[in-house]
Structure 1
Amino acid sequence: MTILVRLIYASKVAPNFGPMDMREILQKSRHNNIESGITGLLVMSDGYFFQALEGDRMAVHTTYAKIMRDARHSRSVVLSASEIEKRHFTDWSMGYVLSTEKNRPLFMSYSADKYFEPLSMRAQAAESLLVEIGQHARQIGGTESLT
């Protein structure tokens, strides 16, 4: 029996991170996530990655373990890990949204400061923000890409 889980984490982006790194992450993650039955959404804002991974418990935890070993991430914090009945991001093997001037108010609506700082978010706020970002991305025609 498959136990479906959602893991939400945030991490600092490495200082030398560039556009080619993002392309590589998205390409590799989308391929691996399809193979593993994982869905999710990756957000990048203010020097942070903020991500939800959904799928089989073992697959999600294996994927997160790989992320923790990736030098492009540091100070990774699990904000939420729970069993779920259904997925929020069923249509994306790895959706991607970059914070822009257009969507910035949404990010900031969950911030107590003038900067987006996901490492200190509570579990419910983290999930709510990712769901809202996903809904916003669907309304404008899907997640933004770097291609």
Structure 2
Amino acid sequence: MEYLVYRSEALVTPESPECQSIVTISHLKNTLAGITGFLHAEDGVFIQYIEGPAEPLWQLYNRLHSDDRHRNLELLGHGVISRPRFKKWRLGYSQTEIASFRDFMGEVSAEKSLKDASCAEAVYFLMGASVRIDLGIGSSL
């Protein structure tokens, strides 16, 4: 099982029907492909962690490059994992109301912006956002 984390420039707002369709359609497709993960949308930025079998994972990543709802994909990191981090999330989703990536980065390092976040910082943030939803502190779509 492999994982990857990317950041991209969002061309749709978190509340838009286009963004909601990402979550709805990804739930179905990810279930069929054995992929799990978590997507966060905030202030013109998508940050996503996805995990699963290598072939469907990289096929998905390649398709993301042609998705016109975002641009400038930047792979922050990838690797091999022994067990999934987001097992119950076919595609978890959060936006600023659940947790702010900008605030998180300010707390981690006042010198870094969203565009300077590392793979580890992105993963820690997304895991924290998913826990907030699990605890009922925020809700996903």
Aligned partner of 1:109 in structure 2 is 104
Indicate how the Cα distance of structure 1 residues 30 and 141 shifts in structure 2: closer, same or farther if over 3 A, else same.
farther
**Separation (CA, whole Å) in 2 of partners of 1:96 and 1:17:** 10
* Structure 2 residue ranges without an equivalent (≥5): none
User: Per the alignment, in what secondary structure is the counterpart of residue 27 of structure 1?
Assistant: helix
Partners in 1 of 2:102 and 2:26 — Cα distance?
A: 24
| Structure 2 residue 52 is matched with structure 1 residue 44 | no
1:109 is paired with a residue whose SS is helix
- Unmatched runs of 5 consecutive residues or more in structure 1: none
Q: TM-score, normalized by length of structure 1?
A: 0.83
The change in CA–CA distance for 1:141 and 1:56 in structure 2 (over 3 A counts) is farther
Per the alignment, residue 58 of structure 1 pairs with: 55
What residue number does 2:4 align with? 7
What is the RMSD of the two structures over their aligned residues, measured on CA atoms?
2.4
CA contact (8 A) 2:39 2:94 kept: yes
Q: 1:131 aligns with which of 97, 119, 127?
A: 127
Letter in 1 for 2:120: Q
Deviation at 1:140, TM superposition (A): 1.2
Letter in 2 for 1:125: E
Residues 81-96 of structure 1: matches in 2 within 5 Å?
81-96=78-93
Worse-superposed segment, 107-116 or 128-137: 107-116
TM-score under structure 2 length normalisation: 0.87
Counterpart Cα distance in 1 of 2:44 and 2:110: 15
Distance 2:40 2:113 in 1: 11
Q: Secondary structure at the match of 2:9?
A: strand
Any runs of at least 4 consecutive aligned residues in structure 1 with deviations exceeding 6 A, and if so which?
A: none
Residues 97 and 58 (structure 1), Cα distance of their counterparts in 2 relative to 1, 3 Å cut: same
